[in-house]
Amino acid sequence: MSPEEKDQKIERLEKENQALRERIAELERGLGLDSKTSSKPPTSDGLKKSSKIRTKSLRERGKRPSGGQIGHPGQTLEQVLQPDNIVEHPTRCSCPGCGCDISVVIAKKIIKRQVFDIPDPGIIVTEHRVAVKECPECKTLLQGSFPKSVIAPVQYGARIRAVAAYLHHQHFIPEDRLSEVLDDLFSCRMTPGTIAKTTLTLAKIIEPVVDEIAGAVKTSPVKHLDETGFRIGGKTNWLHVVSTETQTWYRVSPKRKDIEVLADIKGVVVHDHWNPYYQLLDVNHALCNAHHLRELKALEEIEQESWAKSMKKLLLLACNYQHRYQSGIPKNILPRLNQLYEQILQRGLSFHHSQPPLTRQGNRGRVKRRVGHNLLLRLHNFRGDVLRFLTEPDVPFTNNQAERDLRMMKCKQKISGGFRSFDFAVSFANIRSFLSTASKHGLNLLEVITDALEGDVSVFLSSITTS
């Protein structure tokens, strides 16, 4: 082998070796990511305990002990002044010591003990009757009128249907099991078909209410956006959420990139930097810094990049300032925070510019960047969106509001696996919009469902419009 051939072979082997090292590093990083260092859900961590380096949380250890703190009001049962039932237990009529008759002696005091329980649940059947009379002169048949809600010879009342809808859509009990639950609790075995029909009826009644919620959340000064996969008929669809502290609007779409319905949205939108959200016009953007903290934690612990630790500490410090100064961070603090932010970015960019470039996959496309380099460019190019919470007190540090609103929808999917038809998925999303918004306003969910099935949504509408 000639010296030229040896040099060519060495060069080729060095390139292959470099590519293999990069691939190994990429695979090792993927194995090292978990729910604490990425956007993976906690269920993806599996049952195996994480290694010691993975047990750290983003929340720092507090100085106070766990459990209730001094001065915490607590909650416990307290006796009521007017009990529903009183049971008197007799005292002996004679003294066991001397045998004296005490049957006529007035009691010095009454010791009370109250037991809180529920009555034996059961179905109450109410029969509605109207008399039919015949006019003796013209033979016309006359009869009274039934209430509007009584439309069949035999039917379920609004209350039991509301209980079924509440357990099905708020606590996600599947229809077959819910039928058994109703039988055990009330001796009323409502069929799964009747439960499904109740779902469609309720969803149709509350359609105007959901439109009101959608309009309110679109015009809110700050709203949170997120999306997640939704299985319908064995195929992946998408569930989108737009929510605030007082309203929740869910919508189902066959495609993830379905944001045309948000074209008229205004104000500030908080999200996780999904690029299609930047196609929305007339809005300001705020990025979720919880996502940034998880990515920085992975860079600190896996790649050992020192700038990531500094950036994580800076973001947490800025978050503490926001909580401390709820009316707005003082003007003398903001320049220093922005200066530190810029210094850390430049330190990170200098570090990555000094690293050897990654090997190009093929002859086309740009050279692949390292994960930390991509995060630095995002923090640099969208610094205004990352730090918007510093200058606008109403803008939160994270997008946790939308993620909390999506969490229970994922719980539904884990229990039932998905939906058979698109229409039922839309009905479920509308009902969940209705229930989540009612819950945020402190309304009793069973009462608002009962009122809705009776055709009355005025209490709900007045609550969400006055708050």
Cα gap 48→331, rounded to integer Å: 48
Q: For residue 342, is it within any domain? A: yes
Name the least confident of 221-225, 362-366, 434-438. Answer: 362-366
Q: For residue 247, is it within any domain? A: yes
Backbone angles phi, psi at 175, to 5 degrees: -60, -45
Q: For residue 168, is it within any domain? A: no
What's the gap between Cα 41 and its chain centre? 13
Name the residue among 463, 411, 233, 258 with its Cα closest to residue 241.
258
Band of pLDDT at residue 411, cut at 50, 70 and 90: confident
Domain hosting residue 372, numbered range? 207-355+368-433
In three-state form (DSSP H/G/I as H, E/B as E, the rest C), the secondary structure along 59-100 is CCCCCCCCCCCCCCCCCCCCCCCCCCCCCCCCCCCECCCCCC
Q: For residue 297, is it within any domain? A: yes
Q: For residue 385, is it within any domain? A: yes
Name the least confident of 25-39, 127-141, 275-289. Answer: 25-39
Name the residue among 29, 21, 27 with its Cα closest to residue 295.
29
pTM of the model: 0.79
**Confidence check: pLDDT of 301 > 90:** no
What's the pLDDT at 50?
Answer: 52
Q: For residue 429, is it within any domain? A: yes
**Confidence check: pLDDT of 48 > 80:** no
Q: For residue 185, is it within any domain? A: no
Which tens digits make up the pLDDT trace of 307-365?
A: 999 999 999 999 999 999 988 899 899 999 999 999 999 999 999 999 888 776 666 66
Name the least confident of 48-57, 231-240, 305-314. Answer: 48-57
- How many distinct structural domains can be found in the chain? 1
Q: What is the mean pLDDT of residues 230-250?
A: 93
What's the pLDDT at 7?
Answer: 77
The amino acid that residue 250 corresponds to is: Y
**Confidence check: pLDDT of 12 > 80:** no
Q: What is the mean pLDDT of residues 1-9?
A: 78
Q: What is the mean pLDDT of the chain?
A: 87
What's the pLDDT at 53?
Answer: 39
What's the pLDDT at 52?
Answer: 40
Q: For residue 282, is it within any domain? A: yes
**Confidence check: pLDDT of 258 > 70:** yes
DSSP annotation string for 245-296? SS-EEEEEESSS---GGGTT--EEEEES--GGGGG-SSEEEEE-HHHHHHHH
Which tens digits make up the pLDDT trace of 19-45?
A: 777 677 777 666 766 665 566 666 555
> Does residue 138 sit in helix, strand or coil?
coil
- Kind and range of the H or E element at 168? helix 158-169
Cα gap 94→327, rounded to integer Å: 72
